[in-house]
């Protein structure tokens, strides 16, 4: 060891570099596999009672702007939409937004449940 004091450090450095490269390739393969899984399967939402599910989604997403009782706040009242909008139009608004309202939910099934709930509570 007296003649070559750097040899142990060189061996450790080489082993470390080999391990880092190996782990990088393993990580890349896992990332590609995860992306392939995400692209291959689209989440399908099944809703037994759309009105009940819509109420839960509205409570989670809409009351911040439209008020706790949906009678209005920063956004307009949502208690009298029947006659103003069809279910398809409300679903489109929930998915795409309108005016200053942003998109709320891009899941068509959940957006449709929100629309059904809002129409069911219309006065």
Known binding site: residues? Answer: 62, 65-66, 101
Tell me the backbone φ, ψ of residue 48, rounded to 5 degrees: -70, -55
DSSP for 31-100?
A: HHHHHHHHHH-------S-HHHHHHHHHHHHTHHHH-TTSS-SSS---S--BTTB-HHHHHHHHHH-BTT
Q: Residues annotated in the binding site for heme c, as ranges?
A: 62, 65-66, 101
**CB burial readout 111-123, b (16+ within 10 A) else e:** bbbbbbbbbebee
Q: How far apart are CA 104 and CA 22, in angstroms?
A: 43
């Amino acid at each position: 060891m007296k003649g070559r004091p750097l040899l142990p450090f060189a061996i450790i450095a080489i082993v470390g570099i080999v391990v880092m490269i190996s782990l990088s390739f393993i990580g890349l393969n896992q990332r590609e596999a995860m992306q392939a899984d995400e692209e291959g399967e689209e989440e399908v939402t099944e809703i037994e009672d759309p009105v009940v599910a819509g109420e839960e989604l509205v409570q989670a997403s809409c009351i911040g702007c439209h008020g706790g009782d949906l009678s209005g706040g920063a956004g307009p009242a949502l208690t009298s939409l029947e006659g103003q909008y069809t279910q398809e139009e409300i679903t489109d608004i929930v998915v795409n937004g309108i005016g200053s309202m942003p998109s709320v939910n891009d899941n068509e099934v959940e957006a449709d449940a929100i629309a059904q709930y809002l129409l069911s509570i219309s006065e």
